[in-house]
Chain A
Amino acid sequence: MLSIETAYENNNKWSAYQGIVLKDGFDEYLSSRVRGRFYDIEGTEALIEEFRDIPSTGFEERLLIDIFSTSPPIDDWKIGEALAECYLEDFEKVRFYYPSSRDAKNPKANLQGADLVGFVDVDEETTIFLFGEVKTSGDKNSPPQVMYGRSGMIDQLRNIKNNPNLRKSLIRWLGFKVKALSDDDPFKKDYQKALKVYLKEGAEHKYFLFGILIRDTEPKDTDLKSRYESLKSDLSNGAQLKLVALYIPMPIKDMKDYIINKGEKNE
């Protein structure tokens, strides 16, 4: 069982940030819980099969198959995302229903999404949409570089917040996902609950923005504080914000050992 400890926190009505130290049981957590989540996406093999039919379109498939034929690198940021999802599910009353496709993201695509799309309970009765971004960084500076700049966490969160079309697309897309499900499917129930809140005229919290930073340094509130203030200051009606820094008890680059070999060093 993973134990955690709050290193620092700052709670306001609609926004908060927290530094959480992940302590005992992290090895086990990585090699079972996170590992399971990490591999819970469509296999590459199956995708290559799907590509075999591209010639029926009159286009060539070769280059695309080549890309999928090289075995996927196990990047730290992908593990970070899986870890963030597991953490949110286990400690923040968050639910994810659709495996996100860490392996095949394209941030430069004409049309974009978000790292995390799920649901969060904000009180006994209320469930709202959650949109989130995850950054993993071994940078010694505080705050780390990944918080800044155009592809930095804060800008990405701001983008979700300021770009209603993106949010709308994500919600519509979920709508299609739940459409075929039976009415008592938990995914559909969550969706309908969250959508009701989202559509409510004048609702105070319509959706939740989550930013998760994965660190292997000592906890310092400077990792989040200034960036949090900057994002909070232009928080618009309807959004709730929480930034969480997870301080893991091992170097980031070591995480993949637990994913690949359940903790045996990969030689």
Chain B
Amino acid sequence: MNEFPHWTLSELSDEIRKRAEEIISEKKFENKLFGEYALTQEERELLEKILEIYELTIIDLWDKEEKKNEFSTLSKKCFDILQILPLPQDDISKIKHILKLVAYSYLGEKWEDGRRFLKEEKNTCEIEINDENTWDERLFKKTYLAILYLVRKDSWEDLSNAVNLINKLRNEQKKYEEEYLNSVETEFKKGAALELASFYHFAKSIEILGRFMLEGEPSSDRVTSEIDYHLNKGIKFCDLSGNFEFSLILRLMLAMFKKMVFNSIWRVSERINSKITSFVKHITKASKPVYELLYPQRAAILEMGLLDPASRGIVVNLPTSSGKTLIAEFKILQALNQFENGWIAYVVPTRALVNQITNRLRRDLGSHPLNLKIEKMSGALEIDFFEEKLIEEKAFDVLVTTYEKLNLLIRRGIEEKLGRRLVLLIVDEAHNIESPERGLNLEMLISIVKSDCKYANLLLLTPFIPNSGEVSKWISPDNPKSIEIQLHWWKPNDQVIGIYYVEGRRRNWRTYFEPLFTTHHIVFFPKKIQIGSYDAIFNIPRSKLNNKSILTSIVAKQLEDVGPLLIVARTIDDTWKIVENLYKYFDPIEDEDISLIKRFVAAELGENFPLVKYLSKGIGMHHAGLPDEIRYLMEWLMEENKLRVLVATTTIAQGINFPVSAILMASYSYPFEEMPVRDFWNIVGRAGRIDQKSLGIVGIAVKNEDDKRKVTDYVRRQTGDLVSVLVKMVDELENLGRELGMELIIRYPEWSAFLQYIAHLYRQYNNVSELVSRLEMELNRTYGYRILNQRKKEVLKNAVKQYVRKLSGKAHIINLADQTGFSPESIERTIYRIQKLGLKQSDWYSSRLFNNETGTLRKLIGVMLSVPEVKKSLEVSIPGETITYSKLSHLIIDWVSGKEFTEIAREIWGSDDPTTISNCVKAVYQKVVNGATWGLAAFLNMPTSGIDFSQLTEDEMRRLENIPAMVYYGVNTEEGIVMRINNVPRSIANKLGEIYKTETGGISPKSAYEWLKTKPSSVWNESVPPNKNISGNDYKKIWEKLSG
């Protein structure tokens, strides 16, 4: 569908075309589900006919630059058809079929799929070569194998194998050629000679390409012209001998080889600079080497000017899994090259991503030869001593952190402290601008960088947004650039989206999958396919399957062979129900990695924590009720293909950053609201693994017709424009402001990030009137203001003017607002409340602060919960909580003291059943580490804290500065913090830190990392608590996983 007019296609009715697409879709689906499919004679003939017409059209479009999109589209379709048509049995026909298939995968911008086909279809490389083969056959078969290596290129060896095969052929020429030519009848000798000559040139072109892939030399232009020369010679010889088929194959190979050069990663290094060349050399030699760019990468980097130094702001608007990190890496290198002594910030939405991106960048850019210094800062809204140190020592080229943290750093003048310029800000998942919770903060971060960091370029990475042009105009008004994929059909992999349901009665039921037609559809066929039926292991009547958790568990069991599944449920409770069912259906599996993680989970959450037993059957879980480390390890097991199923909540699933084979959605809504369409597609984007049958399956559970209608409507909804949160807020300001007064509205907590921005601006002007006169320009730096209509702009401007006047003469308050991330209003209130507590410096020492006896923490929590910014992130519901917050403060004290979750749950919740432990973990990781850390850090800065900073020794300073970090990391020593910064599990962090401190004398995150890397497991052993069934060696292995 979406065809374009062409005279050869006019013979093809829409009906036939649609039918063909449906056959392809259906067979792909069956192949994925059942590992096999069959074509009827009628289907096969239809596909062959369409293939022929497409191929003839492709020939007509060949080399027509203005038709290249149509050319690619048809090539992709040919590739799809060839994948479905049966592979011929005899070697020669098989070779022809596969060469064609691979060539079309390249020409259709789907080379990764072509490559995957070669790997999945085991017999693609099973070609019989023996002494019975004549020389021409031998040449054909061996050149074919060499091409397989070139396309597969799993490693450096594959490429050198390709080159070696050609070299061997040269040696074999003496042995076989003469004998062969003698055997040919005289009248056909010339034909035979011409065929051989074609092969020799063909072989040479393979060698040239193989060497180029390996070394990047000679230049791509030169390689292209050499390949062109040799293959055109080959084609000429074929034409002369009337060898039409070979002539066609060589033409296809010529186009494919040129494309391989065109996609080659070496081309990036040709045009830019030495850093990029080193990087390319590095990644082509890595253990999982990259030789070719995916279509969006190539388009972004080589065709759409990602590396164009004139573009100050670029929006890269590509689907999930298009290889955006590599795009960012190239941009990093270009920026560092362009600006001497600059640094780069890479911001991401979650703590987990801070770790993942840091690990990835360290692996790619942090080692020889580039040796860039990649550092991360925690997501905590404070700057601990070690982070201060990092800034002081100017010890990084790239800093990875969260949006909010960078906002704080910039407002606290990190650029000035570093004495280096921020030259590039990379914002990952930038569509979060529209998130009601965090959007405004992100928008203000970008606005502040635009205002404060004069040299900073911006790179926004987003999944699909229709109005990326508008966003790029915001970030770079003079030279906006938005990079997006033009081809409507390009997707990282094919996906089918549909519903699953049950039909039948009592114990005679069947489950079905039915594809839906969606806004993003690729694979669709109007037919329901049976997934499975009642089985004794389920032992459950039809009526119970109205429960979507049960239905989903059963379908997951029935899809066991499809590959790793992600199940998405609405709430944590639902995930427990699903895993409990799955546990009944699956058999145990033995695996070393799983056993290791089991021991770790048992050590962290107790032997009885049910995840331990679930893991033994390959079932993992991923939700807010699990510690960060365990979630990370679940993702790792999934990536390594060790888990059968991972069961996650909808909220978490959005942040999952690895591909799965299929996704089953027991729900597509968040706990309290419908999932935004963009988030839904973001989850869907994970379906389809690179290393497995490419089709990704996404199923949504439905229980009746009404349900089905709703889902059908939902998946057809368009992804909307990216809109600033500010727009909605100004609507409210206009409506409510008339009644309540604008001043009041603007002080609502959701305005905090905006007010901080205004306060920050205010600091840069001498007086109110100066700011007011420039207000239009300053507000224009925000995305929201730009897209407001004129009337609303006036409303906002007026409110801001009123507000700014009130700031006059409050320089110290404004200063504190920048330091803490509180609004000026919250600062004033906090100063007053803290003063009333009458604290002394000694009250802040950890031994007194984290002590149930002193009651200081309780009082501070009381203040925190009166600050709107913190309140939102600290409110925890604990049964039996007192009005003095004794339970919450007790929880924090237990957490900092290093107590295990089981113990904390028992003490605070009065139970250690799994749900309680899970609630406890959630309270700590979602609330305490964010809210309490932030609150404490802000309070320490208040003039009424009782601390006289001018009188502090460096040692005292450090102890105080690290107090919030103790809450963040859940440890009570500085050495513990250093261990936690380096991803050491909390349960051994204090103890291992102690050993480290004794052995090395000093404390710094860097030296700790080196120490951890080199220490044998015996040292780790010493830190393991005696009652645990886990070894130091296990911990070390876990640590290695967590550190990427």
- Listed in ascending order, the chain A residues whose CB lies under 8 Å from chain B are 42, 47, 50-51, 53-54, 56-60, 63-64, 67-68, 72-73, 75, 77, 100-101, 103-113, 164-166, 168-173, 175-176, 179, 192, 195-196, 199-201
Interface status of B188 (Cβ within 8 A of chain A): yes
Main secondary structure of the interface of A (DSSP, over half): helix
- How far apart are A51's CB and chain B's nearest CB, in angstroms? 6
Chain A residues with CB under 8 Å of B60's CB are 175, 179
In the complex, are the beta carbons of A176 and B59 less than 8 A apart? yes
- Minimal beta-carbon separation of A85 from chain B (angstroms): 13
- Neighbour of A63 across the interface among B52, B170, B181, B244, CB < 8 A: B181
Q: A63-B177, A169-B244 are in contact. Are A175 and B191 (CB under 8 A)?
A: no
A105 and B241: CB pair below 8 A?
Answer: yes
B192 x A199 contact (CB < 8 A): no
Query: Is B837 interfacial (CB 8 A cutoff)?
Result: no
Indicate if the CB atoms of B56 and A54 lie closer than 8 Å: no
What CA separation (Å) do A247 and B17 show in the bound complex?
A: 49
The answer to whether B191 touches A106 (Cβ under 8 A) is yes
- Minimal Cβ-Cβ distance residue in B for A115: B242
A109–B191 touching, CB < 8 Å = yes
Contacts of A108 in B (CB 8 A): 184, 188, 192
Question: Which of these binds chain A: B25-33, B193-201, B462-470, B494-502?
Answer: B193-201
Residues of B within 8 A of A63 (CB): 177-178, 181, 193
Residue in A53, A60, A100, A166 whose CB lies within 8 Å of B233? A53
Residues of B within 8 A of A (CB): 7-8, 11-13, 16, 48, 52-53, 55-56, 59-60, 62-63, 92, 96, 136-137, 140, 166-167, 169-170, 173-174, 177-178, 181, 184, 186-197, 200-201, 203-204, 207, 230, 233, 236-237, 239-249, 251
Indicate if the CB atoms of B52 and A100 lie closer than 8 Å. no
Question: How far is A173 from B249 in the complex, measured between Cα atoms in Å?
Answer: 10
- List of B residues within 8 angstroms of A111 by Cβ: 96, 243-246, 249
> In the assembly, what is the distance between CA of A192 and CA of B203, in Å?
34
Interchain CB contact (< 8 A) of A107 among B178, B188, B193, B197: B188
User: Is A175 in contact with B204, judged by CB distance below 8 angstroms?
Assistant: no
Q: Are A54 and B200 in contact (CB under 8 A)?
A: yes
In the assembled complex, the CB of A253 is this many whole angstroms from the nearest CB of chain B, namely: 15
A59–B190 touching, CB < 8 Å: no
Bound-complex Cα distance A101 to B194 (A): 11
Q: Can you list 26 A-B pairs, Cβ within 8 angstroms, ordered by A?
A: A50-B233, A50-B236, A51-B197, A54-B197, A59-B169, A63-B177, A64-B193, A72-B190, A104-B190, A104-B240, A104-B241, A105-B242, A106-B184, A107-B188, A107-B191, A109-B136, A110-B136, A110-B140, A112-B244, A113-B242, A164-B48, A171-B56, A173-B245, A179-B59, A199-B11, A200-B11
**How far does the Cβ of B505 sit from chain A's closest Cβ, in whole Å?**
46
Cβ–Cβ < 8 Å partners of A101 in chain B: 191, 239-242
- How far does the Cβ of B243 sit from chain A's closest Cβ, in whole Å? 5
Are B56 and A59 in contact (CB-based, < 8 A)? no
Beta-carbon contact of B194 and A106 below 8 Å: yes
- Among B181, B200, B248, the most chain A Cβ lie within 10 Å of the Cβ of B200
Bound-complex Cα distance A105 to B192 (A): 7
CA–CA, A195 to B197, complex, Å? 32
The residues of B that contact A103 with a CB separation of less than 8 Å are 190
B248's contact among A60, A176, A192, A196, by CB below 8 Å, is which? A176
Residues of B within 8 A of A200 (CB): 11
**Contact between B11 and A109 (Cβ–Cβ < 8 Å)?**
no
What is the bound-complex CA distance between A47 and B198, given in angstroms? 13
Known A-B contacts A104-B241, A106-B188, A111-B246; A59 and B59 likewise in contact (beta carbons under 8 Å): no
Minimum CB distance partner of B92 in chain A: A110
B963 CB, nearest partner CB in chain A, Å: 72
Contact call B190/A58, Cβ cutoff below 8 A: no
Given A67-B190, A104-B242, A109-B243: A195 in contact with B248 (beta carbons within 8 A): no
Which residues on A sit within 8 Å (CB–CB) of B247?
173, 176
A199 B241 Cβ-Cβ under 8 A: no
- Minimum Cβ distance to chain A for residue B17 (Å): 12
Interface hub of A56, A109, A112, A201 (most chain B Cβ within 10 A): A109
User: In the complex, which of the residues B7, B48, B251 contacts A196, with contact meaning CB atoms closer than 8 Å?
Assistant: B7
Inter-subunit contact B245/A113 (CB<8 Å): yes
A56→B167 CA distance, assembly (Å):
13
Quick one: closest B residue to A180, CB to CB? B63
A58-B207 CB under 8 A given contacts A110-B92, A111-B246? yes
Which residues on the A side are within 8 Å of B136 (C-beta)?
Answer: 109-110
A109 touches B8 (CB 8 A): no
Identity of the chain A residue whose Cβ is nearest the Cβ of B205 in the assembled complex: A57
Query: How distant is A107 from chain B, measured CB to nearest CB, in Å?
Result: 6
Judge whether B187 and A110 touch: CB under 8 Å.
Answer: no
A59 pairs with B200, CB closer than 8 A: yes
Q: Please, which residues of chain A bring their CB within 8 A of the CB of B167?
A: 58
B205 smallest CB distance to A (angstroms): 9
Known: A58-B167, A58-B170, A101-B191. 9 other contacts (CB 8 A): A59-B173, A60-B173, A63-B178, A68-B190, A68-B193, A105-B241, A106-B195, A109-B192, A164-B52
User: Out of A42, A67, A113, A175, which one reaches B56, CB within 8 Å?
Assistant: A175
Q: Which residues of B contact A110 (CB under 8 A)?
A: 92, 136-137, 140, 195, 245-246
Residues of A contacting B53 with CB < 8 Å? Answer: 199
* A199 x B248 contact (CB < 8 A): no
Contact A109 B241 (CB under 8 A): yes
CA of A109 to CA of B188 in the docked complex: distance in angstroms?
10
| B184 neighbours in A (Cβ, 8 Å) | 106, 108
What CA separation (Å) do A107 and B8 show in the bound complex? 31
Chain A residues contacting B56 (CB-CB under 8 Å) are: 171-172, 175, 195, 199
Q: Chain A contacts of B59 at CB under 8 A? A: 172, 175-176, 179
Distance, CA A173 to CA B235, complexed state (A): 11
- Bound-state CA distance A155–B164 (Å) is 41
Roughly how many angstroms separate A112 CA and B248 CA in the complex, as a whole number?
Answer: 11
Q: B236 near A170 (CB under 8 angstroms)?
A: no
Q: Which residue on A lies nearest to B173, using beta carbons?
A: A59
Kindly provide the distance from the CB of A136 to the nearest chain B CB, expressed in whole angstroms: 12
Nearest 5 A-B pairs (CB), nearest first? A106-B191, A111-B245, A57-B204, A175-B59, A173-B244
Q: Which residues of A contact B193 (CB under 8 A)?
A: 63-64, 67-68, 104
Complex Cα gap A107–B377 (Å): 71
With CB as the reference atom, state the residue of chain B lying closest to A174: B244
**How far apart are A54's CB and chain B's nearest CB, in angstroms?**
6
Chain B: which residue is nearest A203 at the CB level?
A: B11
When C-beta atoms are compared, the residue in chain B nearest to A201 turns out to be B11
Complex CA distance for A100 and B11, rounded to whole angstroms: 30
Smallest CB separation, A267 vs chain B (Å)? 23
Q: Which residues of A contact B245 (CB under 8 A)?
A: 110-113, 165-166, 169, 173
Q: How far is the CA of A170 from the CA of B516 in the complex (A)?
A: 41
The CA of A196 and the CA of B53, in the complex, are separated in Å by 10
Determine the chain B residues whose CB is within 8 A of the CB of A60 once the complex forms.
173-174, 177
**Residues in chain B near residue A64, CB distance under 8 A:** 193, 196-197
Asked if B7 and A192 make an inter-chain contact with CB atoms under 8 angstroms apart, the answer reads: yes
Chain A: which residue is nearest B186 at the CB level?
Answer: A73
- B201 partner, pick from A57, A179, A201, beta carbons under 8 A: A57
Complex Cα distance, B54 from A168, in Å, reads 12
- Kindly state the separation between the CA atoms of A101 and B187 in the bound complex, as whole angstroms: 12
**Contact yes or no, A170 B241, CB < 8 A:** no
Contact A105 B191, beta carbon cutoff 8 Å: yes
Verify B8–A47 contact, CB threshold 8 A.
no
Residues of chain A within 8 A (CB-CB) of B242 are 100-101, 104-105, 113
Residues of A within 8 A of B186 (CB): 73
A168 to B170, CA, bound (A): 33
**Are A176 and B251 closer than 8 Å at their CB atoms?**
yes
Question: How far, in Å, is A13 (CB) from chain B's closest CB?
Answer: 23
A107→B177 CA distance, assembly (Å): 18
The interface residues of chain A lying within 8 Å CB-to-CB of B239 are: 101
Q: Is the CB of A196 within 8 A of B243?
A: no
B residues near A105, Cβ cutoff 8 Å: 187-188, 190-191, 241-242
Q: Chain A residues near B137 (CB, 8 Å)?
A: 110
CA distance A75 to B230 in the complex (A): 32
Please give, as numbers and ranges, the residues of chain A lying within 8 Å of B240 by CB-CB distance: 42, 47, 101, 104
